[in-house]
Amino acid sequence: MPRMRIISLRDSLVLLVLLALGPAFALTFYTDAAQRRIAAGVMRRDAAHLVHLQVHETSRFVEGASRLLSGIAGVSQTLFDPDVSRPVLAGLLERDPRLSEMMLLRPSGRIAYRVPRGLGVGEAGVGAVFRRALGAPGLVVGDPQWDAGSRRFALRLGHRIPGPLGDPAGVVVASLDLVSFSESSSVGLLPEGAEMLMLDRRGTVVAHQPDPQLWVGRRMLGSPLAAEMLRSQEGTLEAVGSDGVARLYAFAPLHQLGWFAAIGVSEEAAFAEANQLLFRNLLVLVLAGLVASGAAWGIARALILRRLRALAGVADRLSAGDLSARADVRGLDEFAVVASAFNGMAERLLAMLRHEQGARDELAETVNRLVEQRTREVETLGKLGDMLQASQSVEEAYQVMGRMLGQLFPGTSGVICIQSGPYAILEATVAWGPYPEAGRTAVFKADDCWALRRGRPYLVPEGSEELRCAHLPDPAPSAYACFPMVAHGDQVGLLHLETPPGADGGARSLGEGRQRLAATVAEQLALSLANLRLRETLRRQSVRDPLTGLFNRRYMEETLERELRRAERAERPLSLILLDLDHFKDINDTFGHEAGDAALRAVAQMLMANLRAGDAACRFGGEEFVVILPEASLEDACRRAEMLCEAVRRVRPVHTERDLGTLAASLGVAAFPRHGVTAEAVMRAADAALYRAKAEGRGRVVVAD
């Protein structure tokens, strides 16, 4: 035997050791990917939480500023007295370091009094805020202005001072120092490496952390982050920050000011722990692989190759025709067993050479017959698998089983019993074979079968005194076997095979080979049926709204398009009802979103209870529902809409034993082809009618124009 083959075995052992580490490497990378996903989710959640905290804090500041200026405006008639105004305005500046200046302006726009902090911020932007405040009843916010006197950016806040006759008596203006405002905005909440950013509607930076003095007042319209904030107003985005660091940004609008706030969390900081763990695990695996490879190399050289050479020498002599060659490998290990087997093989070879040719022919014939039988079984089993895989429903799979199982088990009768319902009841579904009574009891409990009780096959050979299953008839078959059908840990059904009383070949038809085949078939049938049921379940879930159980928007759009085409071909009408719950937000605000969900479910149950067989009720989104009425005229649809409107008023949703009160809905009705010949046109018409119902007082039905 060539020496290279013996040496390559050692290399193969080392390679096998290295390959054994492959799953460990795969698990390491899989764990790292999972940790990164978790870290990314935590990072996304933290960023969103921080930005909403920032929005809340800024909103509170705006509300406080509005109340402050409103209060000043309420006593403004006394504030035009210098002895009163100066100490009051100075005291306000002292309490809030973010305010850099307070001033009172007369109706002509002339500054009556000004109280600055330090040098003040000048008069930039005062005129614009003054003009806007005269015509506005509440707080007015100006645009960021650069003041040359203080060399800082400021924001003017103004409020009209009402006169005794309702006419404006002047304007009170406060100057907000944007650098101080940035430095006081949630600094302690930002994690390491994070960035806080606020933009106004023109893309100007009005607040920034860190380095507010560097960034406040700059325009960022060319930044992808700024463009996405101004376009989407709320969401998340992976982008490069102002300092060139990649971060995950969460952003939200500040409605009072028309600004947008964003907080970015550093991806490098979020993934630092995952990177360290990956590096440590890979280092340990590499060291373990080197140690294991060295050990495998040494053991293969010392304990395997030497003894293999001895066995190889004996094999060479035997292949050369020396039947007297014997292996001299001693010990109690596997090599000694192989050597003993070699020696026994040589002795038996001598006997086999003297054996009659007829015995070899008979053996060859038996082998050929078994191979042909196994080949047919494998081909039939493969065809059965292909047919089951191609089946589109469970009923179609039953037809395939009825045709194919008779070919797999010739001369044997059988039945497939499928378990259904929560009470472990089985029903005979598929039967085959020359003995129709093999169907047995049509319906029986799982406890009636010993195989289902024990969770493994149960065989009763011919002439055996074993206990019989209770689901068998009287007289019982001469031999039978039951095989549980289990998939993914769940019991699917039962495969039953039998031979009738007094039939020949009962033992052969249920021999070991047939039992192994039946066990394989039971497993394949169980998996196929489980997959088909799962596929049907997923198909149902893909068209249902998980909250209400109604059809979802995707199914509505497909169904409306299909029914429109059908109505067009048959020249029949089709109507559409668009229903929207009135004041639904009040339920969420008063009782919580879970109570709102309970109300939506109650309305959905009402809709399903009031539908015809061909109608389709769908949840369009939020508190909006769509009812498709095939072959319904506009007059019929109006009557149905009035009935649904009244039925909504009778719905009394309950959540945690609390009555949520009565509901009301506005409904818009449109029909094909009167209001449109496409799905989009009919939907637009119904939507327009719904808005008219809202505008005309809600709680009513309006037909499209």
Q: Are 414 and 432 contacting, i.e. CB atoms less than 8 angstroms apart? A: yes
**Which residue type, as a one-letter code, is found at position 26?**
A
Kindly give the pairing relationship between strand 259-266 and strand 195-199.
antiparallel
Which of 235, 269, 303 marks a domain boundary?
A: 269
Q: Which residue shows structure tokens 């009163």?
A: 84
Kindly state whether residues 533 and 563 are assigned to the same domain: no
Cα 112 to Cα 126: distance, rounded to the nearest angstrom: 13
Kindly state whether residues 519 and 629 are assigned to the same domain: no
> Considering the domain boundaries, does residue 21 fall inside one?
no
Sheet bearing 665-672, strands edge to edge: 616-621, 624-630, 574-581, 665-672, 701-703
Bridge partners of 111? 105
* Confidence at residue 3, expressed as pLDDT on a 0 to 100 scale: 45
Cα 552 to Cα 608: distance, rounded to the nearest angstrom: 14
The values of phi and psi at residue 472, to 5°, are -85, 155
Kindly state whether residues 696 and 604 are assigned to the same domain: yes
Which of 230, 250, 269 marks a domain boundary?
A: 269
* Confidence at residue 5, expressed as pLDDT on a 0 to 100 scale: 47
* Confidence at residue 594, expressed as pLDDT on a 0 to 100 scale: 92
**H-type helices in 610-675, by residue range?**
634-650
Report which of 213, 184, 209, 179 is spatially closest to residue 197, judged by C-alpha positions.
Answer: 209
- CATH number of 83's domain: 3.30.450.20
Kindly state whether residues 259 and 349 are assigned to the same domain: no
Burial class (CB in 10 A: 0-12, 13-18, 19+), 350: exposed
The values of phi and psi at residue 101, to 5°, are -165, 145
Task: Look up residue 404 and give its two tokens.
Answer: 């194919």
> Considering the domain boundaries, does residue 358 fall inside one?
no
> Considering the domain boundaries, does residue 281 fall inside one?
yes
Distances (CA, A) of 508 to 319, 380, 480, 513: 40, 20, 11, 9
Cα 671 to Cα 627: distance, rounded to the nearest angstrom: 12
Q: Which residue shows structure tokens 């031999």?
A: 479
Taking the complete model, does pTM exceed 0.85, yes or no?
no
Cα 492 to Cα 484: distance, rounded to the nearest angstrom: 8
Bridge partners of 158? 140, 173
- CATH number of 525's domain: 3.30.450.40
- CATH number of 685's domain: 3.30.70.270
Q: Which SS3 state, helix, strand or coil, does residue 185 take?
A: coil
Kindly state whether residues 192 and 326 are assigned to the same domain: no
Task: Look up residue 69 and give its two tokens.
Answer: 């200026």
Kindly state whether residues 259 and 333 are assigned to the same domain: no
Kindly state whether residues 394 and 526 are assigned to the same domain: yes
> Considering the domain boundaries, does residue 7 fall inside one?
no
Bridge partners of 264? 195, 249
DSSP H or E stretch at residue 579: strand 574-581
DSSP letter at 204 equals B
> Considering the domain boundaries, does residue 52 fall inside one?
yes
Domain with 414 in it: 377-538
Kindly state whether residues 171 and 53 are assigned to the same domain: yes
- DSSP for 395-424, please give it: HHHHHHHHHHHHHHSTT-EEEEEEEETTTT
Which of 246, 269, 292 marks a domain boundary?
A: 269
DSSP letter at 62 equals H
Cα 414 to Cα 429: distance, rounded to the nearest angstrom: 11
* Confidence at residue 671, expressed as pLDDT on a 0 to 100 scale: 95
Q: Which residue shows structure tokens 């009802």?
A: 577
Q: Which SS3 state, helix, strand or coil, does residue 573 take?
A: coil
Q: Tell me the mean pLDDT per 10 residues along the chain, length 705.
A: 49 70 74 71 70 69 68 60 64 70 76 65 66 76 64 73 73 74 62 74 75 72 72 74 74 74 72 72 76 70 66 72 66 67 72 64 72 75 76 76 78 83 78 64 82 88 82 78 86 82 52 82 83 76 84 90 92 94 90 91 92 89 93 93 93 86 93 92 94 92 91
* Confidence at residue 102, expressed as pLDDT on a 0 to 100 scale: 76
> Considering the domain boundaries, does residue 36 fall inside one?
no
What's the chain's Rg over C-alpha atoms? Answer: 42
Cα 565 to Cα 697: distance, rounded to the nearest angstrom: 35
Task: Look up residue 83 and give its two tokens.
Answer: 């002895």
Kindly state whether residues 208 and 326 are assigned to the same domain: no
Kindly state whether residues 259 and 277 are assigned to the same domain: no
Domain count, the chain: 4
The values of phi and psi at residue 667, to 5°, are -130, 135
* Confidence at residue 701, expressed as pLDDT on a 0 to 100 scale: 93
DSSP letter at 300 equals I
Kindly state whether residues 223 and 117 are assigned to the same domain: yes
> Considering the domain boundaries, does residue 574 fall inside one?
yes
> Considering the domain boundaries, does residue 627 fall inside one?
yes
- Other C-beta atoms within 10 Å of 163: how many? 13
Cα 179 to Cα 122: distance, rounded to the nearest angstrom: 16
Kindly state whether residues 288 and 263 are assigned to the same domain: no
Torsion 286-292-294-300 (CA) sign: negative
